[in-house]
Structure 1
Amino acid sequence: MSFPQHESRLYNKELSPESASGTWNTRSLFNWWMSAWHSLGGYTVAIGLFALGLMGWQIVIAFSLGIIILYFVNNLSGVAGQRAKVPFPVFARASFGVYGANIPALLRAIVAIAWYGIQTWLASSVVMLLAVKLWPNVEGLQATNFLGLSILGWICFLALSALQLGVLLGGMEAVRRLSDIAGPTIWVAMIALALWVLSQAGWKIDFSYASSELGGAGTQTLSMAAAVFIIVAYFAGPSLNFADFTRNAPSAASVRKGNRLGLLINAIAFGVISVVIALASVEVYGEAVHDPIELMADIDSVTLLIVAILAVSLATAGINIILNFVSPVYDLINVWPRFFTFKKAGILVAVLSVVITPWNLFASPAIINHFVGSVGALMGPLFGILMVDYYLLRKGVLHTDELFNEDPSGIYFYRKGYNVRAVLALAFAGLLTIMMSVIPALVSIAPLAWPVGVIAGGGVYYLIARGHVPISPGDRETHTGRIPSVEGQQ
């Protein structure tokens, strides 16, 4: 150890390799992926591809291609996290600087907290449906509204928020145990829902169904490309901070195998069954039903309904914790390591998710598209910069102790704790992706913002940072040419 790590203001045990448990084996990561994909959001994103004018079989292909891309993307970020054994915001210190890493950390936290609140509210809507079915008298609580939500809605929302917080306060091992349960559980609901709607459809579906008139070959090709990267973009944030979980994996091989089973096999199967449910709903309702809650509301069997709702509620809570809760907790700890603990940061995230009144947020297309959407568009540039820095410029060499070194002589200190080259690359690529996401004239290419961001962010960073990235502490002391001096860094 090159410096007194524990005395650094950048140090926090929960951020350090000391807290990496090594217990997230292949099975745990496989269940993690099941929890990540098996949700109302995953179903809605898959079925939403019909809006692009694609046929059922084309959606299955596009969904599968998107998953294949995500498999390679998460192998990169996951293996890097397993080797470094630190969460995403600490890993980002190598490329953005020990203080500059708060830029990607806070950007990721904003997106995660917004979607955490939204997903909690969506899950509470399922709980409300169950409550009304079991106790019809509570329906009267839906008549009174406060801040845009009914009294029954508030009760279900706050109850689910408290339950999720309770899991997180148990630490990462409690999160892992929930993931092990929640992931497989949703298959019960999905299979039950698929069998029910298929029976209603007379056991027939049409994979050539399209919700709108098909365009020419060029239009269909663009729509297919858009569909592929919509699937990738849906998981852009979690792919960025995948290290939060793989740091606890025992080996790189376990990460790759968990990704192979959980993504290539499981996620593709989930996409196929989602399309089957949607196509069966076309036979019953005349159009693809985008919200599975609508299908559940029509189920006559109380037993089947209860099983489906409980499974969906558990699965939604599981995905919410692993994708939208853990990330901002680590991000907040990284901002103020000496103050925040896992529990303190978790409580703050839970409070913020209520303060933003997510139902109002979700109801405003302007906020979702222009604020959350534009911040989300920065996930591609951030991923490109981090992966280029680690794999191409540093050749996979990372000095973990130095990530907690606040001394100006530290190799990841750069200038005043910030690597301006990484910030400039993010600003350039981020401007491109934000324009693609929010300018109406560019709406047709908006789904391509993620790959454009990865290429632009990673490419620009490689060009301006090559030859100026320290590989080891000796680079500063011996002046090897990678970094001529502390003062000369940008």
Structure 2
Amino acid sequence: MQLINENLAVVKPAAKRWGAMTMFNLWANAAQSLAGYTLAATLFLDPNANAWLVLAGIAIAAILIIILLNLIGEPSVKCGIPFPVLARASMGIRGANVPALLRGSVAIFWYGAQTWFASHAMSLLLREWWPQTGGGQWLAMDQVDWISLVLVSLIQALLFFKGINTIRWFINLAAPCVYGVMLALLWMLVIRSDGQFTVTASAFFDRPVASWGDGLFQLLKVTGTMLALYAPIILSYGDFARFCRNESVMTRGNWLGITINMTGFAIIVLLTTIAAQSVFQQNLANPTDIVQKLGSPELSLLAAIVFFTATAGINVVANFVAPVNDVSNLLPKYLGFRRASLITLSLAFLISALWPAVIKQIGLVAFVNWMGVFLAPAYGVILAHYYLIERRALDVEQLYQSDSGGRYYYCYGWNPQALLTLLVTCMAITLLAVFLPGGVMAGVDWLLAAAFASVAYWGLAKRR
């Protein structure tokens, strides 16, 4: 049984070229998605939410995310291994496929969803130039929709097929471009607001908080929501961290990248939302709607390019590299980077094509979000094994050994204690969700599940 290929091999010190600036731009790309913009804008537009509390909740979430990333990233930086290989230490050489496939499935789903959002935005904006186009519909999309979807999918595929060095180049290029256009859009809206910007801003920041308890609930809700948004990236962070020069670079890049980009992007979203409301007297949470209302064909074309760039950025960070490695881990002998990429991109395109006609109608989004919560126990088990069982000293050679006497072979390649912990924790999450308010559990359930799984696995592993 072969357990290694170019995707899963240890990154040699000479190939560790990612510095703090690359990590900073990595997190800029993670922040700059259409879904992330809409989510943040929705939080600010909540009539019961005070803008100061929302910003505070995002800042708290940023600190928690940094801590989680640094913990899961350390073994990958030290050993040069991706997430599926790291999971072998605790789950077994075959058991690692359980969290890897779950993570990969969630990522492929959201790759397809993000691609559809970008192509839909592009098709809407392109109609500013060619308003008469359209034609008959198939799967709830007309000709412009399909052309936009195919173009967005192909351009992303061409970028990502080039490998990790091209991905690194794109990450460093995309982040400043998106920020530049967003700031230009904000400036244009402020100028058009005709002095109403400050009046509208006061309404956002001066919203009364009913009580101390209500304020705490708002804070927890925002913090949990942002944790939920970043949770899928956290588990497989090692897929990127292994390319960092050292732990110091990773830590510095995370602290700067997460704090500045999460809070900075949130501030830009807040100011843009305020400016859009002062200009159009409407609550606009989608940047595509704002650009459409400005009515500039030139701006529409530029926005289409930027929305694609933002989508490609979040896809490469959260939804491409991870599933490619996860798919490759299934059959390392046969599924190298290109084949695993082709499988990932094909499945993602299928999700995109079925999104408007099928997936939106049957409510799979909530189901996939729930699958994402089940990644938390895997995070807890992996951390407990690395820090409490292995004492930060993995046997890297054994992670690639399939013989029955191997250190991570366990029971036919499966670690029963780890899998039992996953099962019990997932059941506990389900019960908590039934009996506790959803607003409190959103995102916070991820932390609770990870902590419970860590303690439970440690207790079981000590008895082995």
Q: TM-score, with normalisation over the residues of structure 2? A: 0.93
* Aligned counterpart, 1:163: 155
Q: Deviations over 1:84-131 (max 9, x none)?
A: 211111110001011000000000011101100000000111221332
The answer to whether the 8 Å contact 1:36/1:183 transfers is no
* Structure 1 unmatched ranges of 5 or more: 1-7, 469-490
CA distance in 2, matches of 1:436, 1:197: 44
C-alpha root-mean-square deviation of aligned residues, in Å?
2.2
Q: Within the alignment, does 1:366 sit opposite 2:366 as a pair?
A: no
Q: What's the counterpart of residue 26 of structure 2?
A: 32
Match of 2:10 in 1: 17
2:42 alignment partner in structure 1:
48
- Determine the C-alpha separation between the residues in 2 that align with 1:455 and 1:395: 18
Distance 1:88 1:411, change over 3 A: same
Identity %: 28
Q: CA deviation at 1:452?
A: 1.3
Q: Which moved more, 1:175-184 or 1:302-311?
A: 302-311
Equivalent residue number for residue 477 of structure 1: none
Does residue 1:432 correspond to 2:424, yes or no?
no
SS of residue in 1 equivalent to 2:49: coil
Task: Write the deviation string for residues 144-200 of structure 1: whole angstroms up to 9, x where unpaired.
Answer: 221222222111111111111111211111111111111111101211222122233
Equivalent pair of 1:56/1:279 in contact (CA under 8 Å):
no
Deviation for aligned residue 1:226: 1.8
Paired amino acid for 1:352? L
- Report the secondary structure of 1:31's partner residue: helix
Q: Report deviation, 1:211.
A: 12
Q: Which residue of 2 aligns with 1:300?
A: 295
The alpha carbon displacement at 1:431 in A equals 1.9
8 Å Cα contact 2:58-2:262 kept in structure 1: no
Q: Which residue of 2 aligns with 1:375?
A: 371
Q: 1:405 aligns to what? A: 401
Q: State the SS of the aligned residue for 1:15.
A: coil
Mapping for residues 192-271 of structure 1, pairs under 5 Å = 192-201=184-193, 202=195, 203-204=197-198, 205-206=200-201, 208-209=203-204, 214-271=209-266
The answer for the alignment partner of 2:458 in structure 1 is 462
Question: 1:258 is matched by which residue type in structure 2?
Answer: G
Residue 280 (structure 1) aligned with residue 272 (structure 2): no
User: What CA distance in whole angstroms lies between the structure 2 residues aligned with 1:299 and 1:156?
Assistant: 22
Kindly tell me: are residues 223 and 52 of structure 1, through their superposed partners in 2, closer, same or farther at Cα, counting changes over 3 Å?
Answer: farther
| Contact 2:26 2:171 (C-alpha < 8 Å) held by counterparts | yes
Q: Secondary structure at the match of 2:294?
A: coil
Residue 316 of structure 1 deviates from its aligned partner by: 1.3
Q: 2:182 aligns with which of 190, 210, 213?
A: 190
Q: Is the 8 A contact 1:211 1:287 kept in 2?
A: no
Alpha-carbon contact 1:87-1:243 (below 8 Å) kept: yes
Indicate conservation of the 8 Å contact 2:77/2:241, yes or no: yes
| Structure 2 residue aligned with 1:127 | 122
CA distance in 2, matches of 1:302, 1:117: 27
Question: Matched residues in 1 for 2:398 and 2:306: separation?
Answer: 44
Correspondence for 1:63 among 58, 64, 72? 58
Match of 1:449? 445
1:472 matched residue in structure 2:
none
Aligned to 2:385: 389
CA distance in 2, matches of 1:434, 1:268: 32
**CA separation of 1:281/1:27 partners in 2, compared to 1, >3 Å: closer, same or farther?**
same
Task: Point out the more displaced range, 427-436 or 260-269.
Answer: 427-436
Conserved? CA contact 1:249–1:255, under 8 Å: yes
Structure 1, residues 297-317: CA drift from partner, whole Å, max 9, x if none?
112343333333322221211
Residue of structure 2 in register with 1:316 after alignment: 311
Aligned-pair distance for 1:247?
Answer: 0.7
**Using the alignment, how far apart are the partners of 2:239 and 2:202 within structure 1?**
39
Deviates more, 1:337-346 or 1:276-285: 276-285
Equivalences, count: 456
Partner of 1:474: none
Amino acid at match of 1:368: V
| CA distance in 2: counterparts of 1:360 and 1:73, whole angstroms | 37
Measure how far apart 1:212 and its partner are. 9.2
Residue 27 of structure 1 and its aligned partner are, at CA, apart by 1.6
In the superposition, relative to structure 1, how do residues 237 and 411 fare at CA in structure 2: closer, same or farther (>3 Å)?
same
TM-score normalised by structure 1 residue count: 0.88
Question: 1:383 offset after TM fit, Å?
Answer: 1.3
Question: 1:214: how far off?
Answer: 4.9
Cα offset, 1:286, TM superposition = 3.9
| 1:419 equivalent among 415, 421, 424 | 415
* 38-47 vs 410-419, which moves further: 38-47
Structure 1 residues 328, 13: closer, same or farther in 2, change over 3 A?
same
Q: Distance in 2 between matches of 1:353 and 1:464?
A: 38
Shift of 1:432: 2.6
Provide the C-alpha distance between the structure 1 equivalents of 2:236 and 2:357, rounded to a whole number of angstroms.
27
Mapped to 1, the partners of 2:12 and 2:104 lie a distance apart of 21
For structure 2, the 5+ residue unaligned runs are none
CA deviation profile, 1:10-53 (whole Å, cap 9, x unmatched): 12232011577212221211111111111212212212324483
Whether contact under 8 Å (2:139, 2:356) holds in the other structure is no
Q: Distance in 2 between matches of 1:390 and 1:73?
A: 14
Distance 1:359-1:320 versus aligned 2 partners, 3 A rule? farther
Please state how far the C-alpha of 1:66 moved relative to its aligned partner.
0.7
Checking the alignment, whether the CA contact within 8 Å between 1:63 and 1:231 is kept in structure 2 is: yes
Distance 1:14 1:133, change over 3 A: same
Q: Specify whether residues 272 and 418 from structure 1 end up closer, same or farther in structure 2 by C-alpha distance, changes over 3 A only.
A: same
